[in-house]
Amino acid sequence: MDTLTQGLLGATVGQAGYGRVLGGRAVLWGAVGGLLPDLDMVTAAAGPMSGWLHHRGVTHALWVGPVVGPALGWMMWRWQMWRSARVAKAASSSLPPPLSAWVGLFTFALLTHPLLDLFTSYGTQLLAPFSDRRFALDAVGIIDPVYSALLAAALVVGRIRGPGSRAGGTAAWAALGLSSLYIGYGLQLNRQAEQAAHAQLQDEGLRSPEIHAYPTLLQPYLRRIVVRREDEILVGWLSLWRPRPVEWERYPLPRHSLIQQLRSTPEGATFEWFAMGQTLPTVTMSGAAWVVELHDLRYGFPSRSEPGIWGIRARFGPDGALLDPVERIHSRLPLPAAELLGQLLRFTFD
């Protein structure tokens, strides 16, 4: 999920579990703990493929919370002890919150981050560095205002009534429960989208296709449908709010030896792994060079005829030799942001 939502989740976990003990510090440091795994985004500066290779890697592994969380909690507890010792009144009147509160806060704040990312399509390496397998459950988009608003509302209650108040704690627990149900609802919508697409394809005489549905931005109801067949890929859009037959855009699968040559490069292998095999190759001629591209089919916009919004490109000479380093490509928005938002809403609710 987006960075803001991860911070909101960590803060809500802090308010729910440790607001009474830590007060406002539970919200502040819960947000910090919820954001820490995304520090791996700095690796994107190391090269064009580094962001795909390292983001949602080892910092997003499930063991990070139980292992790193106690260490961070102990350091925070020691810092609080040191501060109390330097302030005479605090040292004589009260003791800092117990070690267990700080350990629990950082452990759960770190753990909830990869668990939330798991329910998006991007893919999260939950077992890194022991395995590079990417896990993804296509429940919600990486930006979902409904999910974020549930968490923000609980924090507003905590701000008004106090993070350690009964009302603040109840609101936080309610937000965590409702947001979890919302994710489950997204999973159910994805299954419904795949079933509806499968039924339509059967009616159209296309038997046993490989179907995947993917959530889109800002709302849970519009799903991108990708159908992989032996000789072509179909891409369409289905609104679960107002279902109608999917209008398929068909992309023939080219057969060219240079496609496998690109996939065999380190960059090609990285991209196929990142896209979890959901790629579409294209081959064109540009002057005397062959241009081969791989597109990530999981993401796109309804108004775009291109198969995806990012991918990789390579240029090969007539003899099949690679002419330039493999480059990363990223398509521009098909419309201004405001118009694109309106289009997404029309596709979903009209």
pTM of the model: 0.91
Cis, peptide link before residue 129, omega less than 30° from 0: yes
Domain ranges across the chain: 3-186, 254-330
Can you give the pLDDT at residue 343? Answer: 85
Measured in whole angstroms, the distance separating CA 75 from the mean position of its chain's CA atoms is: 30
Mean pLDDT of 118-129: 96
More confident residue, 2 or 95: 2
pLDDT in tens, 175-191: 999 999 999 999 999 99
* Strand pairing class (222-228; 310-316): unpaired
Spell out the alpha helix ranges (H) of 209-322. Answer: 257-264, 266-274
* Rounded CA separation 222/211 (Å): 16
Residue 304: predicted pLDDT: 67
The whole-number pLDDT of residue 87 equals 67
Residue 86: Cβ-neighbour burial (10 angstroms; 0-12, 13-18, 19+): exposed
Query: Is residue 345 over pLDDT 80?
Result: yes
Which single residue is written with the structure tokens 């810092």?
Answer: 79
Q: What is the mean pLDDT of residues 266-270?
A: 95
**What is the DSSP track for 41-56?**
GGGGGG-TTHHHHHTT
Question: Model confidence at 342, in pLDDT bands (50, 70, 90)?
Answer: confident
- CA distances to 34, 54, 95, 190, 228 from 236, rounded to whole Å, are 35, 30, 60, 14, 12
- pLDDT value at 91 more than 50: no
Please tell me the predicted confidence (pLDDT) of residue 256: 92
Tell me: pLDDT of 122 over 80. yes
Average pLDDT of 133-149?
96
